[in-house]
Amino acid sequence: MAQIKVNRKSYIRKDGTVVKGITYYTQDKGKPGKTPDSEKFYHPKVEMHWHKDPTYRPKQGELTR
């Protein structure tokens, strides 16, 4: 794979810390913005049948794990 040049701009954080800009070379890891299917974890429209019951209160000594 080819090497690509990465230019990071300098910036100032909210707490006043200055982060310097840097330029470096790295290996190209594939198509930009493309996550392999094997690394995806979000499956839309899958019903998990989970809900929060606001009336439930554990009994004294009952495990809540």
Q: Dump pLDDT digits (tens) for 40-58.
A: 777 777 777 777 777 877 7
Q: Dump pLDDT digits (tens) for 22-37.
A: 999 998 777 777 777 7
CA–chain centroid gap for 50, Å, is 23
Nearest in space to 56 (alpha carbons), one of 47, 64, 45: 64
Going from N- to C-terminal start, the domains of the chain cover 1-27
Nearest in space to 22 (alpha carbons), one of 35, 33, 9: 9
DSSP state of 59: P
CA dihedral 30, 33, 39, 40 (to 10 degrees): -150
Q: Is the pLDDT of residue 1 over 60?
A: no
